Amino acid sequence: MSASPSVPLPVSAPVRPPAQAELLDFVRRTAADAELISSLPLDPEGRTWVRLEGPGGSEAWLIGWPPGTGTGWHDHAESVGAFHTASGELKENSLAARLPADGWKTLELSDGVDRERRLTAGKGRSFGRHHVHEVLNDSPDEHAISVHAYYPPLPQIRRYSRTGQVLRLEHVERPEDWQ
């Protein structure tokens, strides 16, 4: 009996997480899907959302924003992300400062760290880990709809309150709190 030659087993390529640019491309393409965008049920009182299948194992959401609604100050912890406005306009207030990941409850922010962006339909942006921001639909009468993607899927969201230059960690949400 002769030995058969060994055949190497195929090696699967390691899964590469999606980069911020890939997340931005995904939310841009998804926001351009008029049929999907029009399928989102809109509520005049509160935000509505539908979970989507994001690229490379990312978490993605289609979100409807009634006039006057927003997220409050928050970050997405270790996740990178992107969002794109499909209809209406969103305002993003953010901090141009990297905050410590842990070990604090209250921080006094330096002058000049505040940034504001207006994201009209067809505009979007990506962001890195620990990006602290709030997203608002400050229109008095028009809904906005946007697409968001995060990688890794959101392990937590840290919620903050802000008074002047003082940022305070209020609580930490886990996926079971919003799914």
The reply to whether 28 falls in a domain is yes
Paired tokens of 48? 């509505």
Q: Are 161 and 110 in contact (CB under 8 A)?
A: no
Positions at the binding site: 74, 76, 133
How confident is the model at residue 98, as a pLDDT? 78
Query: Which DSSP string corresponds to 105-172?
Result: SEEEPPTT-EEEEEEETT-EEEE-TT--EEEE---SS--EEEEEEEES--S-EEEEEEETTEEEEEEE
- Give the CA count within 13 Å in the CB-facing half-sphere of 102: 2
The reply to whether 10 falls in a domain is no
Q: How far is it, in rounded angstroms, from Cα 84 to Cα 82?
A: 7
Positions at the binding site for Fe cation: 74, 76, 133
Paired tokens of 112? 């000049």
pTM of this prediction?
0.87
Q: Residues 6-55: pLDDT tens digits? A: 555 555 555 688 999 999 999 999 999 999 999 999 999 999 999 999 99
The count of domains in the chain is 1
The reply to whether 14 falls in a domain is no
Q: Are 133 and 94 in contact (CB under 8 A)?
A: yes
The reply to whether 13 falls in a domain is no
Residue 40's CATH number: 2.60.120.10
The reply to whether 5 falls in a domain is no
**Residue 80 structural domain:** 20-178
Q: Residues 64-101: pLDDT tens digits? A: 999 999 999 999 988 999 999 999 999 999 999 877 76
Q: How far is it, in rounded angstroms, from Cα 152 to Cα 124?
A: 19
The reply to whether 1 falls in a domain is no
Numbers of helices and strands, H then E, in the chain: 3, 12
The reply to whether 101 falls in a domain is yes
The reply to whether 154 falls in a domain is yes
